């Protein structure tokens, strides 16, 4: 399957491709970085309120989602190893497992947000507006930052679905897998952002 593509010379630059992906990831870093700065300043100004508001979050759901994302990051990384070893089917299986973990993450997020919204804690919600300013800011940041992160999870799943299609059509194979590498890089970034979101929102007591 993979030997047929070796017959002709292919002009490509995997090194440059990965570098381009990293440069894109830096723009993501600054996008979330800006939000982290806003968080830092408001937390600095409203320390007590941030602590009070954080009590409302469910640490268990946060921790389960952390474990889910860390594990999905591992399966994404392993799918590259499987591809390098020529084990295409195993590589695809690992990508599917990664996607399933992403769904599990989103299901948890759905229940988490639903519970908050049910209690009237959402931007513009009556119960939230009755709280002190610092708590309103905390939940505003909570929805924007975890929401933007969740959007990245959905984009990550979409990218992995394309990768699966590329593997099926033979565009990605044992000797040309930089697309898979870049997709995994994106997924690891999603994981990295969560590594910081988790302690900053769920673990302040």
Partner 1 sequence: MSDHHNHEQAHVVEYGKYIFVWISLLAFTGITVSVAGINFGNWTIVIALLIASVKSWYVLNYFMHLKYEDVVFKVFIFVALLTLGIFIALTFIDYSFVR
CB-neighbour burial class of residue 15 (10 A; exposed 0-12, middle 13-18, buried 19+): exposed
CB of 200 to partner 1, least distance (A): 7
User: Cα Rg for the chain, rounded, in angstroms?
Assistant: 20
Q: How many residues does this entry show for the chain?
A: 205
Q: Which residue, 85 or 168, is less far from partner 1 as judged by CB?
A: 85
Distance CA 89, CA 83 (A): 9
Check residue 122 and give left, alpha or beta (phi > 0: left; psi -120 to 50: alpha).
beta
Distance CA 103, CA 118 (A): 22
Q: Which residue, 26 or 162, is less far from partner 1 as judged by CB?
A: 26
> Applying CB under 8 A, does 78 fall inside the site for partner 1?
yes
Distance CA 161, CA 157 (A): 6
Max alpha carbon distance in the chain (Å)?
Answer: 70
Given 35, 93, 97, 204, the residue binding partner 1 (CB under 8 A): 204
Tell me if residue 1 falls in helix, strand or coil: coil
> Applying CB under 8 A, does 73 fall inside the site for partner 1?
yes
Q: Which residue, 53 or 76, is less far from partner 1 as judged by CB?
A: 76
Q: Which residue, 81 or 114, is less far from partner 1 as judged by CB?
A: 81
Total residues binding partner 1 (CB under 8 A):
52
Contact flags string 21-50 toward partner 1, x per CB under 8 A: -xx--x--xx--xx-xx--xx--xx-----
From the list 19-27, 100-108, 114-122, 138-146, the region that binds partner 1 by CB under 8 A is: 19-27
From the list 106-114, 130-138, 144-152, 181-189, the region that binds partner 1 by CB under 8 A is: 181-189
The DSSP secondary-structure symbol of 176 reads B
Q: Which residue, 84 or 122, is less far from partner 1 as judged by CB?
A: 84
> Applying CB under 8 A, does 129 fall inside the site for partner 1?
no
Is the CB of residue 180 less than 8 Å from the CB of residue 79?
A: yes
Helix residue ranges per DSSP H, 9-58: 14-45, 47-54
Contact residues for partner 1 (CB under 8 A)? 9-15, 18-19, 22-23, 26, 29-30, 33-34, 36-37, 40-41, 44-45, 59, 63, 66-67, 70-71, 73-74, 76-78, 80-81, 84-85, 175, 181, 184-185, 188, 191-192, 195-196, 198-200, 203-205
């Amino acid at each position: 399957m993979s030997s047929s593509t070796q017959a002709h010379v292919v002009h490509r630059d995997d090194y440059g491709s990965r570098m381009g992906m990293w440069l894109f990831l830096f723009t993501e870093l600054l996008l979330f970085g800006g939000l982290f700065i806003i968080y830092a300043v408001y937390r600095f100004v409203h320390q007590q309120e941030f602590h009070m508001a954080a009590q409302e979050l469910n640490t268990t759901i946060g921790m389960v989602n952390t474990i889910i994302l860390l594990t999905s990051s591992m399966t994404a990384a392993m799918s590259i190893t499987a591809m390098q070893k020529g084990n295409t089917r195993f590589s695809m299986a690992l990508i599917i497992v990664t996607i399933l973990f992403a769904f599990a993450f989103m299901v948890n997020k759905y229940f988490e947000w639903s519970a908050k919204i049910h209690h009237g804690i959402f931007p513009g919600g009556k119960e939230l507006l009755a709280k002190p300013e610092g708590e309103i800011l905390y939940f505003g940041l909570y929805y924007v930052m975890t929401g933007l992160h969740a959007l990245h999870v959905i984009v990550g799943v979409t990218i992995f679905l394309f990768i699966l299609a590329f593997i099926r059509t033979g565009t990605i194979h044992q000797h040309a897998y930089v697309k898979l590498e870049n997709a995994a890089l994106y997924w690891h970034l999603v994981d990295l952002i969560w590594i910081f979101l988790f302690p900053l929102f769920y673990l302040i007591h």
